[in-house]
């Protein structure tokens, strides 16, 4: 749980604290006042099971996401078969146990308010 701060704080994704290079994705993490956020740009053709699974070694994504889609479309299929396509201006909660992929020819750009510390990290 994040430590509550009484200070006014600011940070920009223009200067992330960490950048993770994954195939067909750029992951930027910022940390501020005990919180973190992640901005990810998934390129067309990106799919979790093809591009991240080999890095993390799990059968499906085990990171919970609370995210906002800035642009593009991102599909998610839960291990139980439930599937949703998220698009620009959608706010979503995605529990652990899923696969995801970019839909269409436009990159999907998201801000994740929960999964940044673990996503794609070894």
List, for residues 8-62, the tens digit of each pLDDT value. 999 999 999 999 888 999 999 999 988 999 999 999 999 999 999 998 889 999 9
For the whole model, what pTM was predicted? 0.88
Q: Are 80 and 34 in contact (CB under 8 A)?
A: no
Domain assignment of residue 93, given as a range: 22-112
Q: How far is CA 92 from CA 18, 20, 114, in A?
A: 24, 22, 11
pLDDT digits (tens, 9 = 90+) for 65-90: 999 999 999 999 999 999 999 999 99
Determine, yes or no, domain membership for 10.
no
Q: How far is CA 112 from CA 6, 81, 100, in A?
A: 23, 23, 14
Give the pLDDT of residue 2. 57
User: For residue 67, what is the domain's CATH number?
Assistant: 2.60.120.10
pLDDT digits (tens, 9 = 90+) for 104-114: 999 999 999 98
Q: What are phi and psi of 50, to 5 degrees?
A: -95, -35
């Amino acid at each position: 749980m994040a430590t509550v701060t009484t200070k006014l704080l600011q940070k920009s994704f223009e200067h992330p604290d960490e950048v993770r290079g994954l195939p067909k994705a750029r992951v930027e993490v910022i940390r501020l006042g005990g919180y973190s956020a992640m901005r990810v740009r998934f390129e067309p053709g990106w799919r979790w099971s093809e591009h991240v699974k080999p890095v993390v070694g799990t059968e499906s994504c085990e990171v919970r996401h609370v995210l906002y889609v800035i642009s593009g479309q991102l599909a998610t299929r839960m291990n139980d078969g439930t599937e949703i396509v998220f698009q620009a201006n959608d706010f979503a909660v995605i529990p652990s146990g899923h696969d995801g992929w970019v839909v269409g020819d436009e990159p999907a750009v998201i801000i994740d308010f929960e999964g940044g510390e673990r996503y794609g990290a070894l």
